[in-house]
Chain A
Amino acid sequence: MTANRLIALLLGIGTASMVGADGGDAAIERSEQVVRESFAGATPEEWKARLAQDRTQAMCSRYHNAPSTDVAASIVAEALGSIRYPEDGKLLGDWKEGEKLASIGTGGHIGKLQPDPPDRKRGGNCYACHTLAVEEVAAGNLGPSLTHYGKLRGNAPETVKYVYEKIYNAQAYLPCSLMPRFGHNGWLTPKEIADAVAFLLDPESPVNQ
């Protein structure tokens, strides 16, 4: 890694076309050109914004989710700095609301073929990737099982904080984690994240039965 590149990384101004020392630059530049052409019909600003990559996305793409130590450290630092907390400071919300969010997989679809109504509830869709309550058999396994999460770990303040931060921006703990940065990207609100935390940690939650 050259000094310039390192500086660019640390300053957080690296873009996809600036990084990469192993001949991948050309392919990425070419693929970005293809994206511009193939998605030319995506004219609304919000649609264009969804195609634009932030620095973390560009890095994780460029390095196939296996960043070097330096890049990883810069991603973690940026992620930790991004976390915001609920205004009332309550990180442990209502597990019943969290349970609903865990099941909802719709909301936020755009495009011309099958968009969601703009006001459609956006869920966390946790069950798509994680086993949570034992009785829900239709649970995915892209992420680890979270069954009995609170029962096994308790709900001490530091645990609550960790779980909140992990959901808010998973890359604060695992750079290029496959998990969406729910809070950072504004997909879920801090309050919704607190509800999801409760679904995982509340002793009453079906996750801990």
Chain B
Amino acid sequence: MKRPGTRAARRWTAALAAGASLILAVAAMAQDDRTLREIQKYRQMLQEGNPAELSEARGEELWATPRGPAKATLEQCDLGLGPGKLEGAYAQLPRYFADTGKVQDAESRLVTCMTTLQGLSYADATRGWYKANSDLEFLVTYVAGKSRGAKIEVPATRPEEADMLAVGEALFFRRSGPLDFSCATCHSQEGRRIRLQEVPDFLTSAGARSSMTQWPAYRVSQGAVWTLERRLIDCIRQMRWPEPQYLSDAVVALEVYLQNRASGGVMEAPGIKR
């Protein structure tokens, strides 16, 4: 019983310190919750009127407008379910197409149709794909809208698709560049954010679905609808890598990987994003 006071005091100090940091932690969490709640409110208010609907309407018009040297419409375009069959087609892409011998996503396939059916050059078909109001922005938005309510279904069972799935997975984890980033850096843990922006965990189907059911999406920061290719290519740019080529296998392989994981999710695109 020597210097009991000191020991007790020490214990008290420790308890107080623990209590104080607990209070701090709780306060930080409360602040966090409130912030996220307000961001949620912001997003809900935006859902009311999504400008992507404007792109959708223009895509519908473009789809049925005779264009190119062949003066043909896209109404006979085969997006995987047969010529002109649009309902639910987007939700089952990317898939293997025998006529091109390639696994293609929606925009790659649309470019195939624009070049084969309408006779447009590749350059004309893809003109301004990275800018607001491109033909592809409109067409992809329209085509994706035709899968509203459809379930994503990309089993990737054909050998060509299975190959792209494996490539997509390897790419998802592939680290390089001056920041050592891979897709997995930001997208392999639940409940994470970059600043206030949630970054879905693509390793869970819930996370993959939460994202893949929304693209193409109107990005308020861009004032334009971004297609999935546009989104992925920008992620890669943000990783400080050089950009892959538009419609290239690297992008399509990542889409196969993500869509495969998101399978079963119900399409809501076009969505609205930051």
Least distance between A99 CB and chain B CB atoms (Å): 16
A128–B185 CA distance with the chains assembled, in angstroms? 12
Cβ contacts under 8 Å, B179 to chain A: 108, 180, 185, 187
A28 lies within 8 A of B170 (CB): yes
Known: A113-B243, A137-B31, A187-B178. A142 touches B171 (CB 8 A): no
Number of A-B contacts (CB under 8 A): 146
Q: Quick check: is B3 within 8 A (CB to CB) of the other chain?
A: no
Least distance between B168 CB and chain A CB atoms (Å): 8
B253 lies within 8 A of A34 (CB): yes
Instruction: Across the interface, name the chain A residue whose C-beta is closest to B176.
Output: A53
Q: Which of B117-125, B146-154, B234-242 contacts A (4 or more CB under 8 A)?
A: B234-242
Main secondary structure of the interface of B (DSSP, over half): mixed
Q: Which of B5-13, B71-79, B108-116, B194-202 contacts A (4 or more CB under 8 A)?
A: B194-202
Instruction: Across the interface, name the chain A residue whose C-beta is closest to B164.
Output: A34
Instruction: Across the interface, name the chain A residue whose C-beta is closest to B244.
Output: A38
A40–B195 CA distance with the chains assembled, in angstroms? 33
| Other-chain contact of B171, A31, A128, A139, A178 (Cβ < 8 Å) | A31
Least distance between A28 CB and chain B CB atoms (Å): 5
Instruction: Across the interface, name the chain B residue whose C-beta is closest to A185.
Output: B178
B173 lies within 8 A of A61 (CB): yes
| Other-chain contact of A113, B170, B174, B233, B251 (Cβ < 8 Å) | B233
Cβ contacts under 8 Å, B237 to chain A: 109-111, 113-114
Render A25-62 as a binary contact track against B, CB cut-off 8 A, 1 for contact: 01110110011011111100001001111001100110
A60–B167 CA distance with the chains assembled, in angstroms? 16
B24 lies within 8 A of A53 (CB): no
Known: A28-B170, A60-B175, A65-B184. A140 touches B242 (CB 8 A): no
A101–B35 CA distance with the chains assembled, in angstroms? 24
A50 lies within 8 A of B242 (CB): yes
Instruction: Across the interface, name the chain B residue whose C-beta is closest to A131.
Output: B28
Cβ contacts under 8 Å, B195 to chain A: 127-128, 138-140
Interfacial residues, chain A to chain B (CB-CB below 8 A) = 24, 26-28, 30-31, 34-35, 37-42, 47, 50-53, 56-57, 60-61, 64-65, 108-114, 127-129, 131, 134, 137-142, 145, 147-148, 152, 178, 180-181, 185-187
Interfacial residues, chain B to chain A (CB-CB below 8 A) = 21, 24, 28, 31, 35, 130, 163, 166-167, 169-171, 173-182, 184-186, 188-189, 191-197, 199, 233-234, 237-238, 240-245, 248-251, 253
Enumerate the 8 nearest inter-chain pairs by beta-carbon distance, A residue then B residue, closest first.
A38-B250, A38-B248, A31-B170, A42-B242, A47-B242, A180-B179, A111-B243, A27-B166
